[in-house]
């Protein structure tokens, strides 16, 4: 059913997205969490609908496959609870350094209570501390 009042919003909206560096010197080790939405950031109940990020840097040699997992969690620092896990994969066919923006829409929006912290962490298939996702933002909907 179509609606004229339903809106999709991004957070942060009028600010740069969050950067999250890679996890460490062993493959598939998780980074620490970085907060995307503070407790007072979204003051109404909402549905988490997706995630976007702008760059994955640096780009390795041509024909390198990157795989990673992005985890979004709720709760304050030190007490995060996993809410969504997003598997990702790209193949770098150039060493020029351009990787397109990415948008992942969740198959079913996840309900999040008002004034809930949202944080992000990542794990990479490569054993590195130099890869970074930048411009991380959530897509959400106010019911």
In the chain the domains, ranked by start, together with CATH numbers, are 8-141 (2.60.120)
The residue among 75, 65, 66, 89 whose CA lies nearest residue 120 is 75
User: What pLDDT, on the 0 to 100 scale, is given for residue 48?
Assistant: 96
User: What pLDDT, on the 0 to 100 scale, is given for residue 21?
Assistant: 64
User: What pLDDT, on the 0 to 100 scale, is given for residue 111?
Assistant: 96
User: What pLDDT, on the 0 to 100 scale, is given for residue 131?
Assistant: 73
The residue among 133, 108, 1, 123 whose CA lies nearest residue 54 is 133
Q: What is the dihedral of CA 71, 74, 75, 80, to 10 degrees?
A: -30
pLDDT digits (tens, 9 = 90+) for 51-79: 988 766 656 667 777 788 899 999 999 99
Residue 68 CA to residue 22 CA, distance in Å, equals 9
Query: Which residues in the chain come in under a pLDDT of 50?
Result: none
User: What pLDDT, on the 0 to 100 scale, is given for residue 116?
Assistant: 97
Residue 24 CA to residue 129 CA, distance in Å, equals 5
Residue 66 CA to residue 2 CA, distance in Å, equals 38
Cα distances from 98 to residues 29, 46, 62, 91, 130, in angstroms, run 25, 33, 11, 11, 16
Q: Please compute Rg for the chain using Cα positions.
A: 16
User: What pLDDT, on the 0 to 100 scale, is given for residue 67?
Assistant: 83
Instruction: Give start and end residues of each alpha helix (H) in the chain.
Output: none
């Amino acid at each position: 059913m179509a609606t004229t009042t339903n809106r999709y919003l991004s957070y942060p909206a009028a600010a740069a997205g969050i950067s999250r560096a890679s996890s460490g010197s062993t493959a598939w080790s998780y980074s620490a969490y970085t907060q995307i939405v503070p407790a007072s950031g979204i003051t109404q109940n909402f549905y988490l609908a997706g995630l976007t990020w702008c760059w994955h840097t640096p780009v390795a040699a041509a024909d390198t496959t990157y795989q990673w997992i992005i985890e979004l969690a709720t709760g304050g620092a030190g007490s995060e609870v996993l809410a969504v896990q997003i598997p990702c994969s790209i193949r770098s066919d150039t060493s020029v350094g351009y990787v397109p923006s990415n948008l992942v829409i969740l198959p079913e929006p996840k309900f999040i209570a008002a004034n809930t912290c949202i944080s992000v962490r990542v794990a990479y298939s490569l054993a590195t501390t130099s890869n970074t996702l930048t411009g991380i933002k959530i897509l959400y909907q106010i019911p």
